[in-house]
Structure 1
């Protein structure tokens, strides 16, 4: 070929490519690949690669290699209007790593609600303890029935606190003597009221049997109303701590029986939830009373110790009364003997 200046300039302008290009320029240079790698849609379009980094002769050759189909597709994409998609934008859509950028063909990742489990648990608890089906009269009267239990339990804790914090025999509101007397007064009140409530809950099954609710069950349902007052009556003869524990176990056992009865259809469907709420209040009151009594000073006698003291005091008073009666009889006998002796002397003098 002719080695003229123009030909040398043309050959120098082409230069040697960094990599060997295949026929048809199907592969682009690394620079072109790098700029196209992270495009969401541009990497999928069958258009011509970017030609700006190429030299003029290489760009001209690349333009000649583009087919008519590619030109039509490129013109179609050029006229395409990009529509906004705000639903695809999230708090993590712009924080993906470069090597794992979201593509158009990948499904969108939904945001995970971290509080979904907690919300589900709260909804379950709300549905479990829903008392919307409970008759309002039974609901209000049942809650009112727990007030005496709560009052006696709080009073027990208050008396225990007063006796422990009394200074020189005087507390903030009551002295130790009055607090102890009040504590001894409310003990039989709480035990007696608990026994009556336990008996009442057992008697409800008798009423359901007479009404034929869920069918007539006979002795099985009558037995519930018999065992409950028997257990309640036995607590009246126990010391205060033993009576409270026995009544607590009685309330829990009767709640289990009521749940089983509700499952079998012997009671209304809302009855087990209603019973759970009331049993929880009564059980908490009993536990509160036991805690208060556990904080009493050692010199405050319990019910068993008071009974022993009363018995010993009664024996002492009885022996004292017998001794006084015997002394009185001796004095009377001595006075009678003196009178007879004086009469005998008068008879002899006559």
Structure 2
């Protein structure tokens, strides 16, 4: 019995070793290698096919990528244009004067015309004076004529500015009398008093100082009017209305100052208020001396 078991085990081991050697020889056989290679190729082909398909459709993929990038760029351009239009609309609405009564708007715009005219004339006459000083004669007027016309414009512009400043102060008196936004008494009346108190003394100053003082007065009154409109003491549109008009007036004053600054060396210096006061004192002193001399001569006779 024991012998039979040992013989069976030996036979089984011999069969296993013979099968392993056959398998090794089969793997080393070229015929088997060819079959294995062909079968491996058939197994790999499905994995390679998508790569060949992607390569075949590469122009289509590139076109899709370009279309996507172009579409995104177009969307950005559309968004940018929409943002610019939105900002432009905000600016337009901010500086809109559509709520201002038409009669007040037209009369207010007409009120700044004298400033524009005198400012443009000052710039033109300054050009004529400079040309006459450099070339001997102006383009339209002579140097002396241009200088005379410039001195005639000075009191017109300064005097008109004093009138407008006084008018702007008086508006608050009218609002107080109408009770617009409530009663504020002296607080509102003060604006109507300060404006002419600052405006009219500028008539005694040299032109440059007078224009600068009026520019500051216009700016202060605009600030006060804007606060009044925001607080309900004036119509809500009054702040923007005053801003536009003050901007035109301020630009005209600045242009006038620039034009006058360019001719400082060509125009005879204007007499200051101190010179006028000294001349008046000298004249009074001379008249007094002449009166005493006449009285002394009468006594001697």
TM over 0.5: yes
How far apart, CA to CA, are the structure 2 residues paired with 1:301 and 1:312? 18
Q: Is the 8 A contact 2:205 2:273 kept in 1?
A: no
Q: Closer, same or farther in 2 for the Cα pair 1:312/1:206, shift >3 Å?
A: closer
Q: Is 2:111 the partner of 1:111?
A: no
How far apart, CA to CA, are the structure 2 residues paired with 1:258 and 1:203? 12
Q: Is 2:46 the partner of 1:28?
A: yes
Match of 1:15 in 2: 38
The alignment partner of 2:204 has SS state of coil
The alignment partner of 2:40 has SS state of coil
Q: Is 2:266 the partner of 1:243?
A: no
Match of 1:267 in 2: 234
The alignment partner of 2:271 has SS state of helix
How far apart, CA to CA, are the structure 2 residues paired with 1:260 and 1:162? 43
What is the number of residues matched between the two proteins?
A: 257
* Deviation at residue 143 of structure 1 after TM alignment: 0.6
Q: Closer, same or farther in 2 for the Cα pair 1:236/1:305, shift >3 Å?
A: closer
Q: Select the residue among 282, 304, 326 that pairs with 2:249.
A: 282
CA distances 1:209-258 after superposition (whole Å, capped 9, x unpaired): 11111111222111111111111122122111111111111111111111
Structure 1, unpaired ranges of 5+: 1-7, 22-26, 40-92, 103-107, 337-350
Q: What is the 5 A alignment of 1:180-195? A: 180-195=147-162
Q: Is 2:122 the partner of 1:156?
A: yes
CA distances 1:65-112 after superposition (whole Å, capped 9, x unpaired): xxxxxxxxxxxxxxxxxxxxxxxxxxxx94526xxx97xxxxx95711
Please identify which structure carries the higher helix content. 2
Considering only aligned residues, what root-mean-square deviation do their CA atoms show, in Å?
Answer: 3.7
Q: Select the residue among 154, 168, 173 that pairs with 1:206.
A: 173
TM-score by length of 2: 0.72
Q: What is the 5 A alignment of 1:1-350? A: 15-18=38-41, 28-35=46-53, 94=63, 96=65, 111-112=75-76, 113=78, 114-166=80-132, 169-304=136-271, 308=275
How far apart, CA to CA, are the structure 2 residues paired with 1:254 and 1:94? 65
Structure 2, unpaired ranges of 5+: 1-30
TM-score by length of 1: 0.63
